[in-house]
Amino acid sequence: MSRYELRFSGAGGQGLITAGIIMAKAASIYEGKQAVQSQSYGPEARGGASKSEVIISDGPIDYPKATTVDALLAMTQEACNKYTHDLKKGGILLVDSDLVKTLPEGNFKIVSFPIINTAKNDVGREIVANIVALGAMVALTGQVSRENAEKAVLSSVPEAFLELNRKAFSIGYDKALAASA
């Protein structure tokens, strides 16, 4: 049974749980696969290490949490230190190159680009950094199509911010492809 595990990690308030939800929604509602999204977080509303996990499969998903992670996003150094221990051999690690300076050693593919700065400078709003990161994860993992992921993004954000999020997703997708080439 195909079982693909993703983890979105960073600091509370960066919108990574939302990014995980949209990825899972894309797989479950639009791609016709099965998906489970779960999360763990501390008592803080902001700050503190936070993670959101998504399991995608063609069949029923038993254990809803990650066992060995296929693809991991780390948006802070703390998250990178804390959550990369169970990254699979040959897996993918995406980091924000401005915030994660010390990379873990291991047999996996590391992709890095300045995610938050891309949101700030190329998209125009730092707040959509999570959608830039989501676009990048969609491009790197290939678990859902670009079109289905975009549909999931647009059905999950407020109407006034559709264009902003569409742009963030698209730029994240293209930057990740360029950074991993």
Partner 1 sequence: MSKKVAFLQGNEAAAQGALYAGCNFFGGYPITPSTEVAEVMSIELPKIGGKFIQMEDEIGAMAVVLGASLAGAKALTSTSGPGLSLKQELIGYGCIAEIPCVVYNVMRGGPSTGMPTGPSQSDVMSAKWGTHGDHPAICLTPASVQETYEEVIRAFNLSEKYRTPVFVMPDEIVAHMRERVVFPEKGEIEVLERISPTVTPDAYKPYDTSCGDVPPLAAFGSGYKFHVTGLNKAQDGFPTTKAELVQAEEERQVRKVDANVDDIVHFEEYLLDDADVVVVAYGSTSRSARFAVNIAREQGIKAGLFRIKTFWPFPDKQIKALAGKVKGFIVPEMNLGMCSLEVERNAQGKAPVLGIFRVDGEPINPDQILAKIKEVK
Residue 168 beta carbon to partner 1: minimum distance, rounded to whole angstroms? 21
Residues 13-72 that bind partner 1 (CB under 8 A): 21, 24-25, 28-29, 34-43, 61-65, 67
Q: With beta carbons less than 8 A apart as the criterion, state whether 69 and 6 touch.
A: yes
Q: Which is nearer to partner 1, 24 or 71 (CB)?
A: 24
Cα–Cα distance for residue pair 109/107, rounded to 1 Å:
7
Asked whether position 81 contacts partner 1 by CB under 8 A, the answer is: no
Q: Which is nearer to partner 1, 37 or 112 (CB)?
A: 37
Q: Which is nearer to partner 1, 67 or 121 (CB)?
A: 67
Q: Which is nearer to partner 1, 40 or 145 (CB)?
A: 40
Residues 123-152 that bind partner 1 (CB under 8 A): none
Query: Six-digit token pair at 61?
Result: 């998903």
> In this structure, what is the dihedral angle of CA atoms 97, 73, 50, 105, given to the nearest 10 degrees?
-70
Query: Six-digit token pair at 147?
Result: 């079109």
All residues at 6 or more sequence positions from 53 whose CB lies less than 8 Å from its CB, including other chains: 5, 6, 7, 8, 20, 37, 38, 39, 64, 65, 66
# residues near partner 1 by CB under 8 A: 21
**Contacting positions for partner 1 (CB under 8 A):** 21, 24-25, 28-29, 34-43, 61-65, 67
